[in-house]
Each structure stands twice: as C-alpha cells, then as structure tokens.
Amino acid sequence: MTHSIDVSTFRNVDAAPDPHALIRFLDGAKNQPTLAGLERRLIAELHLRPRMHVLDAGCGTGTQTLALARAVEGTVTGVDSSRLMIDEAVRRTADKGLDVSFEVADVTRLPFPDEAFGAVLAQTVFEHVGDACATATQLTRVTRPGGRVGALSIDTASTVIDHPDARTTRRITDTWADGFAGGRVGRSLHRLFRDAGLVDVMVEVRAAPFPAAFLGSLIRPTTARMVRDGTLDPDTADRWWTVFEERAAGGAFVTASLWFLVVGTVPG
C-alpha cells in the first residue's frame, strides 16, 4: 500500500511534519516513466556544452544535478531552500567524482552575480514558490547571453480522474491544486518566461498518466483536510474513495495530469 504524502509541504520542507517522507516521495516519483522521459528531454533542450557552468535551481536531493554534471562534464551548482534536501544531496553525490556543489538559497533571490551560468534548470520548482514571476526573472538574470533556461512543471489543476462523481472529483482536484504555492503554474510558464525577457521560448505539453495508487497517495491528505474543514461530507468522501479503489482494482482506471516543459534563450 502506498503511503499518503502531502506534497504541498514542499513549499517549506524543513518545517514539514515528516520531511524524510518527502525525500522518499521524490525517490518514488523518479520511477514514473513519463517523468523520467521529460527529465531527459529537458536536459537535452538546454543545449549544454563541455565545461559549462550550470545551475540546478531547486535541486532537491541532487538527482538532476548529477545528470547535468554527467551531461556537461563541467561544474554544476545546486541550490534549494531546504537545508535537509541540501544535506541529502551532498551525501548522495559525495563519492561520484563529479564537479558539483550545493548551497541553501531562495530561488526568488539567488545569491549569484548576473550572467554567472551558461544554463539553468528548474525542475518541479515553480509549483512550490510563492512568486513565480520573481523566480523566472532570477533564473534569467543569472544566465549568460545565449544561455538556455529550462523548466518542467506539473499543472496539478489539470488532473483528470475517471470517476463517475464529476462534481466531487472537480472539488477535490481544485482543492489539491490550491494547496500548492503554484498549483496552476504550468499553464503560465510560457508567458512568465517571455515576460522575464527570454526569447525563442518553446513549450511542450505532455499528459502523464499516474498509477492509481500513486495518485491516491497524493490526494488522500487533501480529502482528509476537506473533511476536517467541513467542506466535504464524510459520507461523500467515503463513497468517492470506494469507487476510486474499486475502479483502480479493475485495472482500467485512467488518471493523468499535464506537464509543461518550457525552455527559452537569454538574448545576446
């Protein structure tokens, strides 16, 4: 049975009730095949060159930092607002023999000079920051002219679930999205990148299926909170989950969300 995880707590990992559960969630998410393919696509669109200095903004446990370092054969700096994530990233990369470094930093106020990096990656970052516009501006500021800035974000409000109770399903998915700092940011990334001054901005939209058990683990904290707040009747919630689990057990249950891959170039 997949344990429930309140991913909205990624906005402040170190203050989360069980921050190590968020690390376990990240490890599990890496096994989702559509996401893994999008991660590789994002790195390819950065047009990395040997000995380039790259920033992994919102690096988490350093998985993508390592992938960037292997791709560029240069220096990669990872930043994250969570001390716990940074400590885990340092631990996981210590014996890899790659030129990587990590520090705690706020992506809305990056502690780097202008044009410090040849390319910048921000994967599943905009969903968890309160000021997406400032984040896009900062990522652009620290990238050299001609360099690429790339982001990959889920639009949680786009989630579809094959459930007969469409009204309750919509209320649940909307409330789940509202729990994120940027639950609808995916659809805005193209505009945010252009507003930040990036040019030749490309966007790819991919519908990624979720295994039912995985999605269930993500939204259970939301329905529990709705019941506690009185915005969802307990009997309605029980009936909704009964149908969800029955359909999941039937093996023909579709759930999916939209992912937005957006990359732009700093004008030079």
- CATH number of the domain where residue 48 is located: 3.40.50.150
pTM for the full predicted model = 0.89
Q: Which residues contact 86 (CB under 8 A, 6 or more apart)?
A: 59, 78, 79, 80, 102, 103, 104
Domain residues for 45? 7-157+181-209+256-265
Q: Within a domain: residue 250?
A: no
Averaged pLDDT, 240-246 = 96
Q: Within a domain: residue 225?
A: no
Bridge partners of residue 76, in order along the sequence? 54, 100
Q: Within a domain: residue 14?
A: yes
Q: Within a domain: residue 223?
A: no
What digits encode the pLDDT tens for the residues 145-174? 999 999 999 999 999 999 999 999 999 999
Residue pair 30/14 in contact by the 8 Å Cβ criterion: no
Of residues 33 and 144, more confidence is placed in 144
Q: Within a domain: residue 191?
A: yes
Cα dist from 216 to 212, 213, 256, whole Å: 6, 5, 12
Q: Which residues contact 264 (CB under 8 A, 6 or more apart)?
A: 140, 148, 149, 193, 194, 196, 198, 199, 200, 201, 202
Q: Above pLDDT 90, what percent of the chain?
A: 77
Of residues 15 and 86, more confidence is placed in 86
> Which pair of tokens denotes residue 268?
């030079």
What digits encode the pLDDT tens for the residues 106-119? 999 999 999 999 99
Number of domains the chain contains: 1
Q: Within a domain: residue 107?
A: yes
